């Protein structure tokens, strides 16, 4: 049996899953019996599983990493989002990463010899990464007192999820209660609430694996464009999706597309904007010809992770292709340079009163508008939450300005911390 399967199969996780098992949606705030303690898995079994993995990883630390990586049958060869290796063979930092799909496109658009090294790059799901992901359902700590405290945090997090449809939802508090795993916990809950797991016959373990991949591919060192921002946008998207005038026409596919696009719309964001990538001649700017550079990268990264995880592999091929294209259309709509384009279209629909939500094309347009609003909705949150987001986005701008100053580049608008104040940046941004 492959190594990962030995430690991360459904039996070890405390519940044997069966294909086609009924997973009906539950009312907001209530959970089925098998999700009462840790949302999807029982805590005692989780602790036992983590101890097994801890022992295994400790033993593996004494072996050569090369031998581990060569055993692709044991670890699973995953060809989605890849990390580009340097000349020395050491994995580059995340800030210089891009998915295998981007890498393949880059190779196909260059002539031979333009790239110094064209190695076939694969990202292997390592023990360390998967063990790190295992804390996403509960904080495992050895001390009994901390264990009880952690249980209390989980209880508070579950209570917050019962009010996830409220606009005053505090995503920062929820992120602390979930030990920095707000995106995974939120999406698992929303997929269950909307009945998506049952409707699309999704495997819970595979869904969790995909959500872990998405959350881990956000850069936690970014003050603003991180997994907490993704969770905040996803929660706002949920609020929009449940508005009666829209909800009455939405299909399960529309809801899943909206939630997935919100969760992954900024995945692998480098913490700098498109003009910075263009003027520094970044490879992504060249790959996407300076058009929606970041948004194209977020989309390609998302598709890479969907294929790597196999979340939708059981669906018809035509349906998968349609989902991938619609996700691209939604994520590309978040390009700030396209604001006027969508505002003009929305105003025209309102003036002509020709918006028909029975039509799939019009529903998709409204999903684009909803995602754009969710992406920049933080000024509309409660003051304390809005203030934190303002400080975070300004800090990220200032960091870019410092980089530009360091490399003797012209400092981008809103990025000069000597001249641009937080109020002026907020006016300029919104």
Contact criterion met (CB below 8 Å) for 332 and 299? yes
Other CB atoms within 10 Å distance of the CB of residue 21 = 11
Copy the structure tokens of residue 393. 């986005």
Verify whether residue 297 is a known catalytic residue. Answer: no
**How far is the C-alpha of 233 from the C-alpha of 227, rounded, in Å?**
10
**How far is the C-alpha of 335 from the C-alpha of 144, rounded, in Å?**
48
Contact criterion met (CB below 8 Å) for 37 and 43? yes
Choose among 197, 346, 189: nearest CA to 263: 189
**How far is the C-alpha of 277 from the C-alpha of 258, rounded, in Å?**
28
At a CB cut-off of 8 Å and minimum separation 6, what does 256 contact? 191, 194, 196, 200, 323
Binding-site residues for Zn(2+), please?
229, 265-266, 375
**How far is the C-alpha of 392 from the C-alpha of 225, rounded, in Å?**
9
Binding-site residues, please?
225-229, 265-266, 375, 426
**How far is the C-alpha of 220 from the C-alpha of 347, rounded, in Å?**
37
Q: Which of 225, 238, 269, 297 is catalytic?
A: 225
- How far are the Cα atoms of 46, 163, 171, 262, 346 from residue 241, in angstroms, in the given order? 33, 15, 18, 12, 18
Write the Ramachandran bin of 31: left for phi over 0, alpha for psi from -120 to 50, otherwise beta. Answer: beta
Other CB atoms within 10 Å distance of the CB of residue 102 = 23
Other CB atoms within 10 Å distance of the CB of residue 338 = 15
At a CB cut-off of 8 Å and minimum separation 6, what does 248 contact? 357
Contact criterion met (CB below 8 Å) for 98 and 297? yes
Contact criterion met (CB below 8 Å) for 186 and 233? no
Catalytic residues: 225
């Amino acid at each position: 049996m492959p190594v990962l399967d030995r430690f991360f199969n459904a039996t070890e996780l405390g519940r044997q899953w069966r294909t086609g098992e009924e997973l009906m949606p539950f009312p907001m705030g209530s959970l089925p019996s098998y999700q009462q303690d840790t949302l999807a898995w029982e805590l005692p079994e989780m602790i036992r599983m983590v101890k097994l993995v801890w022992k295994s990883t400790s033993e593996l630390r004494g072996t050569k990493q090369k031998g581990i990586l060569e055993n692709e049958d044991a670890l699973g060869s995953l060809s989605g989002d890849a990390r580009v290796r340097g000349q020395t063979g050491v994995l580059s930092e995340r800030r210089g990463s891009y998915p295998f799909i981007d890498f393949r496109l880059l190779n196909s658009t260059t002539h031979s010899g333009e790239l110094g090294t064209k190695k076939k790059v694969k990202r292997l799901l390592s023990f360390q990464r998967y063990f790190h992901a295992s804390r996403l359902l509960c904080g495992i700590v050895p001390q009994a007192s901390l264990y009880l405290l952690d249980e209390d945090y989980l209880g508070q997090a579950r209570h917050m999820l019962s009010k996830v449809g409220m606009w005053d939802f505090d995503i920062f508090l929820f992120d602390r209660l979930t030990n920095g795993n707000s995106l995974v916990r939120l999406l698992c809950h929303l997929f269950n609430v909307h009945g998506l797991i049952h409707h699309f016959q999704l495997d819970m373990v595979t869904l969790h694996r995909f959500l872990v991949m998405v959350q881990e591919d956000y850069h936690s060192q970014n003050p603003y464009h991180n997994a907490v921002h993704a969770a905040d946008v996803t929660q706002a998207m949920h609020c929009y999706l449940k508005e009666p005038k829209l909800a009455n026409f939405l299909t399960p596919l529309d809801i899943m597309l909206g939630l997935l696009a919100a969760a992954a719309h900024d995945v692998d964001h480098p913490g700098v904007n498109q003009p910075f990538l263009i003027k520094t001649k970044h490879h992504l700017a060249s790959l996407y010809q300076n058009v929606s550079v970041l948004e194209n990268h977020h989309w390609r990264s998302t598709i890479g992770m969907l294929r790597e995880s196999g979340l939708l592999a059981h669906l018809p091929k035509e349906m998968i292709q349609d989902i991938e294209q619609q996700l691209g259309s939604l994520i590309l709509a978040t390009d700030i340079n396209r604001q006027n384009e969508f505002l003009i279209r929305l105003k025209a629909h309102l003036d002509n009163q020709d918006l028909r939500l029975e039509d799939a094309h019009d529903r998709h347009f409204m999903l684009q508008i909803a995602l754009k609003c969710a992406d920049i909705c933080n000024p509309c949150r409660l003051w304390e939450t809005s203030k934190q987001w303002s400080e975070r986005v300004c800090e990220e701008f200032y960091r870019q300005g410092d980089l530009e100053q360091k490399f003797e580049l012209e400092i981008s608008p809103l990025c000069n911390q000597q001249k641009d104040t937080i109020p002026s940046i907020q006016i300029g941004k919104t």
